[in-house]
Amino acid sequence: MAYVIVTGAAGFIGSNIVKGLNARGVSDIIAVDDLTHGDKFVNLADCEIADYVDKDEFIEAIQQGKFEDAVDAILHEGACSDTTERDGRLMMRTNYEYSKALLHYCIEESVPYIYASSAAVYGAHTTFREHPESEAPLNVYGYSKLLFDQYVRRSAAEHSAQVVGLRYFNVYGDREQHKGRMSSVAYHFFNQYRAAGTVKLFEGSGGYGDGEQRRDFISVEDVVRMNLFFFDHPEIAGIYNAGTGAAQSFNDVAVATVNACRSAAGETALTLDALQAQGIIRYVPFPEDLKGRYQSFTEADPTGLRSAGYTAPFLTVEQGVKRYCERLLQRAA
Protein backbone atom coordinates (compact mmCIF):
# COMPACT_ATOMS: atom_id res chain seq x y z
CA MET A 1 0.00 0.00 0.00
CA ALA A 2 1.21 3.51 -0.83
CA TYR A 3 0.41 6.50 1.32
CA VAL A 4 -0.01 10.23 1.00
CA ILE A 5 2.24 11.91 3.58
CA VAL A 6 1.08 15.19 5.11
CA THR A 7 3.58 16.87 7.41
CA GLY A 8 2.37 19.49 9.84
CA ALA A 9 -0.82 17.44 9.66
CA ALA A 10 -2.14 18.60 13.02
CA GLY A 11 -1.44 22.22 12.14
CA PHE A 12 -3.59 24.82 10.45
CA ILE A 13 -3.11 24.24 6.73
CA GLY A 14 -1.98 20.62 7.08
CA SER A 15 -5.15 19.51 8.87
CA ASN A 16 -7.31 21.29 6.31
CA ILE A 17 -5.47 19.42 3.55
CA VAL A 18 -6.06 16.11 5.35
CA LYS A 19 -9.74 16.99 5.59
CA GLY A 20 -9.77 17.96 1.90
CA LEU A 21 -8.23 14.61 0.95
CA ASN A 22 -10.81 12.82 3.11
CA ALA A 23 -13.60 14.70 1.29
CA ARG A 24 -12.53 13.07 -1.97
CA GLY A 25 -12.25 9.61 -0.42
CA VAL A 26 -8.53 9.53 0.36
CA SER A 27 -7.76 8.10 3.80
CA ASP A 28 -4.47 6.26 3.24
CA ILE A 29 -2.74 9.21 4.85
CA ILE A 30 0.22 9.25 7.22
CA ALA A 31 -0.06 12.32 9.42
CA VAL A 32 3.34 13.65 10.51
CA ASP A 33 3.66 16.30 13.22
CA ASP A 34 5.07 17.24 16.62
CA LEU A 35 2.45 17.02 19.35
CA THR A 36 4.64 18.37 22.13
CA HIS A 37 1.86 20.95 22.48
CA GLY A 38 -0.95 18.42 22.50
CA ASP A 39 -3.87 20.80 22.01
CA LYS A 40 -3.41 20.49 18.25
CA PHE A 41 -4.87 16.97 18.34
CA VAL A 42 -8.35 18.45 17.90
CA ASN A 43 -7.47 19.35 14.30
CA LEU A 44 -7.13 15.65 13.46
CA ALA A 45 -9.91 14.30 15.68
CA ASP A 46 -12.50 14.41 12.87
CA CYS A 47 -10.07 13.27 10.15
CA GLU A 48 -9.52 9.76 8.83
CA ILE A 49 -5.87 8.76 8.63
CA ALA A 50 -3.95 5.51 8.35
CA ASP A 51 -1.28 6.39 10.91
CA TYR A 52 0.36 9.17 12.90
CA VAL A 53 4.16 9.51 13.08
CA ASP A 54 6.23 11.99 15.07
CA LYS A 55 8.18 14.35 12.81
CA ASP A 56 11.61 13.30 14.12
CA GLU A 57 10.80 9.61 13.88
CA PHE A 58 9.49 10.11 10.35
CA ILE A 59 12.64 11.78 9.01
CA GLU A 60 14.74 9.01 10.56
CA ALA A 61 12.50 6.37 9.00
CA ILE A 62 12.74 7.74 5.45
CA GLN A 63 16.50 8.17 5.78
CA GLN A 64 16.71 4.52 6.80
CA GLY A 65 14.67 3.43 3.77
CA LYS A 66 11.63 2.28 5.71
CA PHE A 67 9.20 4.01 3.31
CA GLU A 68 10.73 2.75 0.09
CA ASP A 69 8.04 2.35 -2.60
CA ALA A 70 5.36 3.19 -0.03
CA VAL A 71 4.67 6.87 -0.74
CA ASP A 72 2.43 8.37 -3.45
CA ALA A 73 3.17 12.01 -2.58
CA ILE A 74 4.41 14.26 0.20
CA LEU A 75 2.56 17.47 1.06
CA HIS A 76 4.99 19.23 3.38
CA GLU A 77 3.21 21.79 5.57
CA GLY A 78 5.29 21.40 8.70
CA ALA A 79 7.31 24.48 9.69
CA CYS A 80 8.14 26.97 12.39
CA SER A 81 5.89 29.77 11.14
CA ASP A 82 6.42 32.37 13.88
CA THR A 83 7.63 35.43 11.98
CA THR A 84 8.88 37.01 15.23
CA GLU A 85 11.06 34.03 16.18
CA ARG A 86 14.70 35.14 16.37
CA ASP A 87 16.32 31.74 16.97
CA GLY A 88 17.94 31.30 13.57
CA ARG A 89 19.29 27.83 14.36
CA LEU A 90 15.81 26.58 15.22
CA MET A 91 14.35 28.19 12.10
CA MET A 92 16.98 26.76 9.76
CA ARG A 93 16.85 23.29 11.29
CA THR A 94 13.06 23.15 11.08
CA ASN A 95 12.31 25.00 7.85
CA TYR A 96 15.42 24.42 5.78
CA GLU A 97 17.23 21.22 6.76
CA TYR A 98 14.05 19.18 7.27
CA SER A 99 12.66 20.36 3.93
CA LYS A 100 15.94 19.44 2.21
CA ALA A 101 15.85 15.93 3.67
CA LEU A 102 12.34 15.39 2.31
CA LEU A 103 13.34 16.79 -1.07
CA HIS A 104 16.29 14.39 -1.34
CA TYR A 105 14.00 11.48 -0.49
CA CYS A 106 11.47 12.55 -3.14
CA ILE A 107 14.20 12.92 -5.76
CA GLU A 108 15.58 9.45 -4.99
CA GLU A 109 12.14 7.82 -4.94
CA SER A 110 10.55 9.87 -7.77
CA VAL A 111 7.79 11.01 -5.40
CA PRO A 112 5.79 14.22 -5.99
CA TYR A 113 6.66 16.88 -3.41
CA ILE A 114 4.38 19.86 -2.69
CA TYR A 115 5.73 22.12 0.03
CA ALA A 116 4.79 25.30 1.87
CA SER A 117 6.83 28.39 1.08
CA SER A 118 5.75 31.88 2.14
CA ALA A 119 5.12 35.42 0.92
CA ALA A 120 7.54 36.43 3.69
CA VAL A 121 10.30 35.84 1.11
CA TYR A 122 9.29 39.14 -0.53
CA GLY A 123 9.81 41.34 2.51
CA ALA A 124 9.06 45.02 1.89
CA HIS A 125 8.97 44.73 -1.89
CA THR A 126 5.92 46.11 -3.65
CA THR A 127 6.02 43.57 -6.46
CA PHE A 128 5.35 39.95 -5.63
CA ARG A 129 6.34 37.70 -8.50
CA GLU A 130 8.28 34.48 -8.23
CA HIS A 131 11.61 35.96 -9.26
CA PRO A 132 14.84 36.74 -7.34
CA GLU A 133 14.57 40.48 -8.04
CA SER A 134 11.43 40.61 -5.85
CA GLU A 135 12.83 38.57 -2.95
CA ALA A 136 14.25 40.30 0.16
CA PRO A 137 12.94 38.83 3.46
CA LEU A 138 12.69 40.99 6.58
CA ASN A 139 13.12 38.20 9.16
CA VAL A 140 14.82 34.84 9.60
CA TYR A 141 11.54 33.00 8.99
CA GLY A 142 11.29 34.56 5.52
CA TYR A 143 14.97 33.85 4.93
CA SER A 144 14.59 30.16 5.83
CA LYS A 145 11.77 29.85 3.30
CA LEU A 146 13.68 31.73 0.62
CA LEU A 147 16.82 29.68 1.12
CA PHE A 148 14.89 26.47 0.53
CA ASP A 149 13.20 27.92 -2.57
CA GLN A 150 16.67 28.77 -3.87
CA TYR A 151 17.85 25.23 -3.12
CA VAL A 152 14.90 23.85 -5.07
CA ARG A 153 15.74 26.08 -8.02
CA ARG A 154 19.40 25.02 -8.00
CA SER A 155 18.53 21.32 -7.87
CA ALA A 156 15.76 21.49 -10.51
CA ALA A 157 17.75 19.51 -13.06
CA GLU A 158 17.90 16.58 -10.61
CA HIS A 159 14.15 16.42 -9.97
CA SER A 160 12.77 13.07 -11.06
CA ALA A 161 9.19 13.98 -10.13
CA GLN A 162 7.02 16.99 -9.43
CA VAL A 163 8.34 19.59 -6.99
CA VAL A 164 5.97 22.49 -6.21
CA GLY A 165 6.48 25.33 -3.76
CA LEU A 166 3.46 27.40 -2.75
CA ARG A 167 4.16 30.86 -1.37
CA TYR A 168 1.30 31.38 1.06
CA PHE A 169 0.13 34.92 1.62
CA ASN A 170 -2.11 35.75 4.62
CA VAL A 171 -4.14 32.59 5.18
CA TYR A 172 -7.16 32.54 7.49
CA GLY A 173 -9.80 29.95 8.29
CA ASP A 174 -10.79 26.83 10.20
CA ARG A 175 -8.39 24.89 12.46
CA GLU A 176 -6.07 27.78 13.36
CA GLN A 177 -7.15 28.15 17.00
CA HIS A 178 -3.95 26.58 18.36
CA LYS A 179 -1.67 29.19 16.75
CA GLY A 180 -2.12 31.78 19.50
CA ARG A 181 -0.77 35.19 18.52
CA MET A 182 0.16 33.82 15.07
CA SER A 183 -3.50 33.13 14.26
CA SER A 184 -5.04 35.26 11.52
CA VAL A 185 -6.37 38.73 12.20
CA ALA A 186 -9.85 37.45 11.29
CA TYR A 187 -9.64 34.98 14.18
CA HIS A 188 -8.34 37.63 16.60
CA PHE A 189 -10.95 40.18 15.51
CA PHE A 190 -13.72 37.60 15.96
CA ASN A 191 -12.63 36.79 19.51
CA GLN A 192 -12.11 40.46 20.42
CA TYR A 193 -15.57 41.41 19.21
CA ARG A 194 -17.25 38.49 20.96
CA ALA A 195 -15.45 39.27 24.22
CA ALA A 196 -15.59 43.06 24.33
CA GLY A 197 -17.70 44.35 21.44
CA THR A 198 -14.66 46.06 19.92
CA VAL A 199 -11.73 45.16 17.64
CA LYS A 200 -8.25 46.66 17.77
CA LEU A 201 -6.12 47.41 14.72
CA PHE A 202 -2.69 48.97 14.36
CA GLU A 203 -2.39 52.68 13.73
CA GLY A 204 -0.93 53.71 10.40
CA SER A 205 2.53 52.55 9.30
CA GLY A 206 4.59 52.28 6.13
CA GLY A 207 2.76 55.22 4.57
CA TYR A 208 -0.68 53.73 5.23
CA GLY A 209 -3.41 55.21 7.40
CA ASP A 210 -4.92 53.60 10.50
CA GLY A 211 -5.89 50.03 9.65
CA GLU A 212 -5.21 50.66 5.98
CA GLN A 213 -2.14 48.44 5.72
CA ARG A 214 -3.04 45.99 2.97
CA ARG A 215 -2.42 42.28 2.65
CA ASP A 216 -3.42 39.53 0.28
CA PHE A 217 -5.80 37.64 2.56
CA ILE A 218 -6.60 34.14 1.28
CA SER A 219 -9.07 31.64 2.74
CA VAL A 220 -7.69 28.26 3.71
CA GLU A 221 -10.47 26.83 1.55
CA ASP A 222 -8.70 28.28 -1.50
CA VAL A 223 -5.32 27.10 -0.24
CA VAL A 224 -6.59 23.52 0.00
CA ARG A 225 -8.05 23.70 -3.50
CA MET A 226 -4.70 24.92 -4.79
CA ASN A 227 -2.77 22.10 -3.11
CA LEU A 228 -5.17 19.49 -4.46
CA PHE A 229 -4.90 20.98 -7.96
CA PHE A 230 -1.17 20.32 -8.00
CA PHE A 231 -1.73 16.94 -6.31
CA ASP A 232 -3.99 16.08 -9.27
CA HIS A 233 -1.46 17.37 -11.82
CA PRO A 234 1.92 15.78 -11.06
CA GLU A 235 3.18 16.91 -14.45
CA ILE A 236 3.23 20.56 -13.25
CA ALA A 237 6.20 21.81 -11.21
CA GLY A 238 7.55 25.16 -10.04
CA ILE A 239 7.23 27.81 -7.35
CA TYR A 240 3.93 29.66 -7.30
CA ASN A 241 2.23 32.43 -5.34
CA ALA A 242 -0.68 31.24 -3.23
CA GLY A 243 -2.64 34.46 -2.96
CA THR A 244 -5.77 35.99 -4.46
CA GLY A 245 -3.98 38.73 -6.39
CA ALA A 246 -6.14 41.37 -4.69
CA ALA A 247 -4.85 43.13 -1.57
CA GLN A 248 -7.43 44.29 0.97
CA SER A 249 -7.03 46.35 4.12
CA PHE A 250 -7.12 45.23 7.73
CA ASN A 251 -10.11 47.56 8.04
CA ASP A 252 -11.87 45.40 5.42
CA VAL A 253 -11.24 42.29 7.53
CA ALA A 254 -12.49 44.03 10.67
CA VAL A 255 -15.68 45.25 8.97
CA ALA A 256 -16.37 41.79 7.50
CA THR A 257 -15.82 40.14 10.89
CA VAL A 258 -18.00 42.52 12.88
CA ASN A 259 -20.81 42.48 10.32
CA ALA A 260 -20.80 38.66 10.18
CA CYS A 261 -21.32 38.62 13.95
CA ARG A 262 -23.95 41.36 13.76
CA SER A 263 -25.82 39.51 11.02
CA ALA A 264 -25.91 36.33 13.10
CA ALA A 265 -27.40 38.40 15.96
CA GLY A 266 -30.05 39.91 13.69
CA GLU A 267 -28.37 43.32 13.63
CA THR A 268 -27.84 45.48 10.56
CA ALA A 269 -24.45 45.82 8.90
CA LEU A 270 -22.43 48.97 9.60
CA THR A 271 -19.96 50.86 7.44
CA LEU A 272 -16.34 51.42 8.44
CA ASP A 273 -17.14 55.06 9.28
CA ALA A 274 -20.01 54.00 11.53
CA LEU A 275 -17.93 51.33 13.27
CA GLN A 276 -15.18 53.88 13.92
CA ALA A 277 -17.64 56.51 15.13
CA GLN A 278 -19.21 54.05 17.58
CA GLY A 279 -15.81 52.97 18.89
CA ILE A 280 -16.28 49.40 17.72
CA ILE A 281 -13.16 49.63 15.57
CA ARG A 282 -10.26 51.17 17.48
CA TYR A 283 -6.59 51.70 16.74
CA VAL A 284 -3.57 51.00 18.94
CA PRO A 285 0.03 52.22 18.57
CA PHE A 286 2.16 50.30 16.10
CA PRO A 287 4.46 47.90 18.06
CA GLU A 288 8.07 48.99 18.35
CA ASP A 289 9.39 45.46 17.87
CA LEU A 290 7.72 45.19 14.45
CA LYS A 291 9.10 48.41 13.01
CA GLY A 292 11.32 47.59 10.04
CA ARG A 293 10.23 43.94 10.15
CA TYR A 294 6.62 44.28 9.00
CA GLN A 295 5.04 43.91 5.59
CA SER A 296 2.59 46.82 5.23
CA PHE A 297 1.55 45.66 1.75
CA THR A 298 1.39 42.30 -0.01
CA GLU A 299 -0.41 41.30 -3.19
CA ALA A 300 0.33 38.11 -5.05
CA ASP A 301 1.09 38.25 -8.73
CA PRO A 302 -1.09 35.35 -9.93
CA THR A 303 0.37 35.21 -13.46
CA GLY A 304 2.47 32.11 -12.84
CA LEU A 305 -0.33 30.26 -11.09
CA ARG A 306 -2.83 31.01 -13.83
CA SER A 307 -0.30 30.05 -16.50
CA ALA A 308 0.08 26.70 -14.75
CA GLY A 309 -3.62 26.07 -15.41
CA TYR A 310 -5.21 26.98 -12.07
CA THR A 311 -8.45 28.74 -13.03
CA ALA A 312 -10.59 28.59 -9.87
CA PRO A 313 -11.85 31.95 -8.54
CA PHE A 314 -10.81 33.12 -5.06
CA LEU A 315 -13.01 34.13 -2.16
CA THR A 316 -12.88 37.84 -1.33
CA VAL A 317 -12.41 38.97 2.29
CA GLU A 318 -16.12 39.78 2.44
CA GLN A 319 -17.04 36.26 1.27
CA GLY A 320 -14.40 34.21 3.03
CA VAL A 321 -14.38 35.96 6.40
CA LYS A 322 -18.18 35.84 6.56
CA ARG A 323 -18.15 32.08 5.97
CA TYR A 324 -15.38 31.60 8.50
CA CYS A 325 -17.13 33.64 11.20
CA GLU A 326 -20.39 31.78 10.64
CA ARG A 327 -18.59 28.49 11.31
CA LEU A 328 -16.89 29.92 14.41
CA LEU A 329 -20.27 31.07 15.71
CA GLN A 330 -21.78 27.64 15.08
CA ARG A 331 -19.01 25.98 17.10
CA ALA A 332 -19.32 28.57 19.86
CA ALA A 333 -23.02 27.84 20.13
- Active-site annotation holder among 96, 98, 115, 141: 141
Across the chain, where does the E strand assignment appear?
Answer: 3-7, 29-33, 51-54, 71-76, 113-118, 163-168, 170-172, 199-202, 214-215, 217-219, 238-242, 248-249, 281-284
Rounded to an integer, what distance in angstroms lies between the CA atom of residue 96 and that of residue 312? 31
Note the pTM of the prediction, 2 decimals. Answer: 0.96
| The pairing of beta strand 214-215 with beta strand 248-249 | antiparallel
pLDDT in tens, 311-323: 999 999 999 999 9
The answer to whether 258 and 270 are in contact (CB under 8 A) is yes
Does the pLDDT at position 214 exceed 90? yes
* The one-letter amino acid at 214: R
Catalytic (active site) residue 145: no
**Residue 172: its pLDDT value, please?**
98
**Residue 82: its pLDDT value, please?**
78
Kindly state the average pLDDT of the residues 88-115: 96
Kindly state the average pLDDT of the residues 199-204: 96
- Active-site annotation holder among 100, 151, 179, 283: 179
The answer to whether 159 and 330 are in contact (CB under 8 A) is no
Taking alpha carbons only, the member of 257, 275, 118, 282 closest to residue 187 is 257
Catalytic (active site) residue 179: yes
pLDDT in tens, 49-93: 999 999 999 999 998 989 989 999 999 999 988 777 888 999 999
For residue 92, count other CB atoms closer than 10 A to its CB. 17
